[in-house]
Amino acid sequence: MLKSMTGAALLSLAFPCLSYAATCEDIAAEGNHPKGMTITTAQSKPQGDADTKIAYCLVQGQVAPHQGIDGRAYAIHFEMRLPDQWNDRFVHQFNGGNDGKVLPATGPLLGGNKADTALSRGYAVVSSDAGHDEKAFADKGLAGGAAFGFDPQARSDYGYGAVEKLNPLAMALVEQYYGKKIAYRYGIGGSNGGRHGLMAATRLPDQFDGILVGYPGMNLPRAAIQHAWDVQSWSSVDNDITKAFSPADMALLAKAIVKACDKLDGREDGLVGDAAACQKQFNISSLQCSGDKTADCLSKPQIDALRKSHAGPSDSKGKALYSSWIWDPGMASRNWRGWKLESQVAPWQNKPIIAVMGAASLSQVFTTPPTDPGKDPDSLIAYLRSFDFDKDAPKIDAKTDVFKESAVDFMIPPGTDNPRLSAFAKAGHKMIVFHGNADPVFSVVDTERWYDRLNRNHHGKAGEFVRFYAIPGMPHGAGGPSYDDFDFFSPLVDWVEKGKAPEGVKATKTAGNAEAAALSAPDYLYCPYPKVARPKGKSADAGLACR
């Protein structure tokens, strides 16, 4: 029996109309979980099980089932892990990608140390599939992960409804099980999970005391247009887009960026710390071949394609449809390549993630009405190649009598173009946002612009409740040629619970990150934007400070 069950027993005596589970297995009984939840599993897991090193109660079930207009059954499937040694705190684990699967509710903290999780620290954690099961769409082939987009309710649950419906019930179950109130409530997510976090701060400002947002896809429908833009850019170099740039070509690019920009932060260490200065210093034209393509230069079509991708998508009138990007040596990482140029997935014919997942999402979820992009890599590539930036791009804002919300409505947090987060700030809640400078999926420029506008709207004081960190060398998630062993969650907790605002966050390299081997210093200091980590003194070992 849990140590906290003493409190549950006392509350049961004080409030006999309420039911409290004496054991984990009792949660499944009627009255021992909130109405609106269907519990399918309630099982004690001993210390040292396959998933974690602590003992906990595993709860699985679903909420808000509905029949889609496509004839398929939908529900928000979830998993909760309730540790025997609970620290009185709760984490909603926001998952990424197209969701569609219930990932283990361990509460990953988004850094390079995968063993350090919210669950291992004693937090109760909930995870969900955001309202659809990707396995239900096997008939859709490679497009199945986004085929839920043919149902408007499934779309809105994916965008925001799943968190809104599940979170209050999950918190109620935690409190009912332990017999006491949750002391602090957190949300953690990267990529689309980061977007979920920003959506929660906007739509549910009273339900989260602290939110950790990693590399967020806040403008995900607009970022999806970039996928078509990139595929068309790479196709101008080689019809097989996986061959548009070789790994050696990208390494050449990274080497040139480091050569031009490494010293701009005052220290030569293999890292481009001052990204803003680098964008003024680096000139891609310096890599263009004067004659035939060689190992020491890039061809004119390659240079043109990189320039086009880097500028971001636009229509025929020059109107920007998403965002520009920045030059960073992390563009040579395996992560960047897997997303933009060439994956290691054989069934995809090694086509990049932007081509397979990107086409499936853009056609079925982010444009209205949804369209069938086909099931195989060739048809998905063909969809992106034929995407018309004048005629098709406006479909992310489109609505119909059936699809009453556009993708912009259900995917982009309200007010993103002019953010205020006034209710979140007024409640005294805190947020940390971090984003890799070499992210190939969501541009760090977009996140910087969001923070600049938020700061302007709060008269230069947005840092009182939101801190943003731009991470040199990091692609989409921890890794690449960056210091990938970091912890932004602990500073968030200190900020929420002790009032200690974060400044520099120390980072090191994980042992398995071979791409970071060229970074000469043993550690680094991540600084709140727009500050840059610079040497404290003239000596090489003087250390860094945020300036």
What residues are labeled active site? Answer: 191, 439, 476
515 token code pair = 């791409």
Give the span between the Cα atoms of 378 and 123, in whole angstroms: 45
147 token code pair = 């085929």
Give the span between the Cα atoms of 144 and 70, in whole angstroms: 14
Give the span between the Cα atoms of 222 and 50, in whole angstroms: 40
CB 154 within 8 A of CB 148: yes
318 contacts: CB under 8 Å, gap ≥ 6: none
Give the span between the Cα atoms of 510 and 331, in whole angstroms: 19
Residue of 515, 233, 525 lying closest to 355 (CA atoms): 233
104 token code pair = 């283990």
Give the span between the Cα atoms of 206 and 204, in whole angstroms: 6
Helices (H), ranges, 103-262: 152-156, 162-178, 192-203, 220-235, 247-261
Give the span between the Cα atoms of 545 and 438, in whole angstroms: 23
384 token code pair = 């992106």
74 token code pair = 């939908």
Measured in Å, how far apart are the chain's first and last C-alpha atoms? 52
Q: Long-range contacts: 258-266, Cβ < 8 Å, 24+?
A: 258/329, 260/286, 261/327, 265/532, 265/533, 265/534, 266/534, 266/535
φ/ψ region of 527 (left if φ > 0, alpha if ψ in -120 to 50, else beta) reads beta
Let me know how long the chain is: 547
Cis amide linkage into residue 369, ω under 30° from 0: yes
Q: Which residues pair with 57 in a beta bridge?
A: 44, 82
The amino acid occupying position 18 is L
* Helix (H), strand (E), coil (C) string for 55-96: CEEEEEEEEEEEECCCCCEEEEEEEEEEECCCCCEEEEEECC
CB 7 within 8 A of CB 176: no
Helices 377-385 & 353-364 angle (0-180, nearest 10): 70
Half-sphere exposure at residue 59, Cβ-oriented, CA atoms within 13 angstroms = 30
